[in-house]
Amino acid sequence: MRRYSLGYLISQTFKSLTRNSMMTFVSVAVLVSCLVVMGTFALLIGNIEVNLNKLGDLNQIVVFCKLGLEDEAVDEIGTQIRALSNVKKDDVKFVSNEQALLEEKEKYKKSSKVFENMEKDNPYPDSFVITYKDAEKVADLEYELSNIEGIETVKCRADLAQTIDSIKNGVIIAFTGFLAILFFVSIFVIINTIKLAVMARRQEIYIMRYVGATRSFITTPFILEGISIGVFSAGISFLIQWFGYSKLTDVVGSDYYMLDFLKFSDKVNVFGFFDTNITLIVLVSFLSVGIITGIIGSMISLRKYLKA
């Protein structure tokens, strides 16, 4: 059997994209809209998670030392904390009173005047941020910590942590559900748009069939078209998302400085396998959704005309 020329099929694809420019434009517009809405929603979920996590400080206890302790006494407290069985030894973080003041100043930049007098007479105590291993035995740990000489208060937010954790899980499940629905609705819309494009060219497909073109000869240009539309739409969507999101976080971030916003340059862990930045995740996701819907759309639309 003779092989079809790939060059010819590719040239046909681009000819067809320009020839059917109106349908190409509609397909790209629909795909870009769906991708941007999905991307925005996914980033919203990410931001909700980050901020709820921050609120929770989930498995942590903060102990505050008595004011005016000598450095040796504070070190001794640290040693005793690390010796407790329910404490993750490597996750005990010492926060000096200077550091605490600095952090507060940073957090409330707009109210910097409040902190001016505190420089001379720092009201913050030294503290330890402790991460525990077993949430079930938190009450025991709290008791053990309060018995250590030199500790003034033990702040354990286990109840709050649990409440926030369950709220976070609920919100994320609900939003992920919405995202999934949005994804399927988008695929449905895109497939129907491609269907219209294919229907407009059914005569062309019939002619190909009658002259003895094989299934692959007929489908390849349509699938390549689907891929091209997917890649092109993903590129445009990425630029819109990147530009729009950066602008939005700049504006909202300056008004709500208590909130943390994910940045495109932030690294996140992907399904526990590897770390990568959000830019790459958004770009790869857009390309995948764009290309996959382009291919599926073309295949489903063509099936009707390719029975034999």
- Binding footprint of other proteins on the chain (CB under 8 A): 1-5, 8, 19, 203-204, 206-215, 217, 307-308
> How far apart are alpha carbons 73 and 299 in whole angstroms?
73
Neighbours of 86 (CB within 10 A): 18
**For tokens 């001016």, what's the residue?**
116
Q: How far is the CB of 302 from other proteins (least distance, A)?
A: 14
Q: Tell me which residue of 287, 257, 51, 275 sits closest to 172, measured CA to CA.
A: 51
Q: What burial letters (b/e) apply to 30-55, b meaning 16+ CB within 10 Å?
A: bbbbbbbebbbbbbebbbebbbbeee
Residue 200 or 280: the one with the smaller Cβ distance to other proteins is: 200
- Shortest spacing between CB 205 and other proteins, in angstroms: 11
Q: Name the residue nearer to other proteins (CB basis): 79 or 214.
A: 214
User: In the bound complex, what is the minimum distance in angstroms from residue 265's beta carbon to other proteins?
Assistant: 47
Q: For residues 109 and 307, which CB has a smaller minimum distance to other proteins in the complex?
A: 307
Query: Minimum distance between the CB of residue 220 and other proteins, rounded to whole angstroms?
Result: 12
Q: Which is nearer to other proteins, 79 or 216 (CB)?
A: 216
CA distance 91 to 285: 34
Q: How far is the CB of 12 from other proteins (least distance, A)?
A: 9
Sequential DSSP letters for 227-241: HHHHHHHHHHHHHHH
Tokens of 147: 């018995």
Nearer to other proteins, 211 or 258 (CB): 211
